[in-house]
Amino acid sequence: MILGHAHPDVMAAVQDAASRGFSFGTPSENEVLLAEEIVSRVEPVEQVRLVSSGTEATMSAVRLARGFTGRSKVVKFAGCYHGHVDALLAHAGSGVATFALPDSAGVPTSAAGETIVLPYNDVEALETAFAEHGSEIACLITEASPGNMGVVPPEEGFTEALRRVTAAHGALLISDEVMTGFRCSRSGWYGLEGPYSGGAPDLFTFGKVMGGGFPAAAFGGRADIMSHLAPLGPVYQAGTLSGNPVATAAGLATLRGCTPEVYTRLDEVSRTIADAASAALSAEGVPHLVQWAGSMFSVFFTSEGSRPAQTGVVRDYDDARAQDLPAFGAFFHSMLDSGVHLPPSAFEAWFVGASHDDEAVGRVLDALPAAARAASASRGRMAG
Ligand SMILES: *Cc1c(COP(=O)(O)O)cnc(C)c1O
């Protein structure tokens, strides 16, 4: 909740919208205004369609890419999570990583069989996969800056390599900004890293922040691609509750509340917390790495002898999985005992919100030394 829970402006917008009706099954004013707000913030997004969850956004974007290109294969990266779309639940991060499930039960081989999974930040693997399957690949979908294996930002030039290689093979590039959108900056990760010399991603997906805590998400991009959606084009997509008037009121009020001052404050608060966490861990001799994407960050508890311990960076899912998970668990529970609820997995990003005032930040800082001691005591202990 980028503005904090039950922000008065968002509350007022929701109450006003709800008092006028919950659902009309037809576009409503807030839906149009929210779409305009998104288009005005993310320059390559010419048209946008609203849906109700990030999962729907990525599912629809992939269908559109397949319909547009007439191809079937999809490339994704290990450790990237794009919602619980069957075809994208291969080597996904987030909850799937937390529970160490290689894949999900209930996903037939046929659904994931058109999915090619590559290691993140590896241009060579990317080029090899496209050299082999390029003419069958409809799209490559990536988290704009991955946050579902912990924060693992693209290395310098990696996003541009994605653009170059997909374009060379006639495949679309989908930038999944469901997590980073309107959080990393007012224009999401694109606002921090773009524009790209080789051109922008073709399609973007959004969710989370843009719903203001309600079910609203979106996908959008080049108008010539979006025009392939029904009713103008042959790619079917619809949703009874898409662009719901209450959800879009919350999203619109949230985005309007995300002023430049809010983003500055998020940057400051996240630095303060991350620096203090790092200092507390260092004081207890707990090896760790902090990685950033705008104000999103994560603290990786590096295991002795692992690749990240040697290279000083977590660059892909294998690196992320090499973490000392018991150390994270001990750290997390100590923080929780002190009343600080961190993201409950070593594979999640830490977010701050505009309501984290100095008193709240003080509580977090006060809780860190004991948590660092707990992490130190549990280091290298085997899970289970
Ligand atoms: C959360 C997330 C999704 C899925 O969104 P839901 O609203 O949970 O379906 C998709 N992509 C990314 C990058 C996410 O972080």
Q: Which two tokens stand for residue 221?
A: 């991009």
167-177 residue pLDDT tens = 999 999 999 99
Ligand 1 site-directed mutation target among 178, 345, 347, most atoms within 8 Å of CB = 178
Can you tell me the distance from the alpha carbon of 172 to that of 141, in angstroms, rounded to the nearest whole number? Answer: 8
Query: Residue 366: in which H helix or E strand, if any?
Result: helix 358-378
Residue 94 alpha carbon, nearest atom of ligand 1: 15
Question: Which residue, by CA, sits nearest to atom 6 of ligand 1?
Answer: 54
CB of 37 within 8 A of CB of 153? no
pLDDT value, residue 375: 97
Of the candidates 81, 190, 263, 317, the residue annotated as catalytic is 81
Of the candidates 73, 122, 176, 202, the residue annotated as catalytic is 176
Where the chain has pLDDT below 70, the residues are 92-103, 380-384
81 is catalytic: yes
pLDDT value, residue 380: 61
Instruction: Provide CB contacts within 8 A for 231, sequence distance 6+.
Output: none
Distance 261 CA to ligand 1 centre (A): 26
CB of 13 within 8 A of CB of 20? no
Beta pairing class for 217-221 and 203-206: antiparallel
Residue 215 alpha carbon, nearest atom of ligand 1: 7
CA 212 to chain centre: 15
- Residue that has been written with the tokens 């790495």 in this structure: 289
Question: pTM above 0.85?
Answer: yes
Can you tell me the distance from the alpha carbon of 301 to that of 270, in angstroms, rounded to the nearest whole number? Answer: 18
pLDDT value, residue 86: 87
Distance 87 CA to ligand 1 centre (A): 14
Of the candidates 208, 263, 317, 319, the residue annotated as catalytic is 208
Q: Which of 151, 130, 162, 112 is nearest to 293 (CA)?
A: 151
- Pocket residues for ligand 1 (CB within 6 Å)? 53-55, 58, 81-83, 143, 148, 176, 178-179, 207, 217
pLDDT value, residue 106: 85
Question: What does the CA dihedral 241, 235, 44, 77 come to, rounded to 10 degrees?
Answer: 90
Beta pairing class for 288-293 and 217-221: unpaired
Q: Which two tokens stand for residue 172?
A: 């679309």
Residue 207 alpha carbon, nearest atom of ligand 1: 7
Q: Which two tokens stand for residue 354?
A: 């505009």
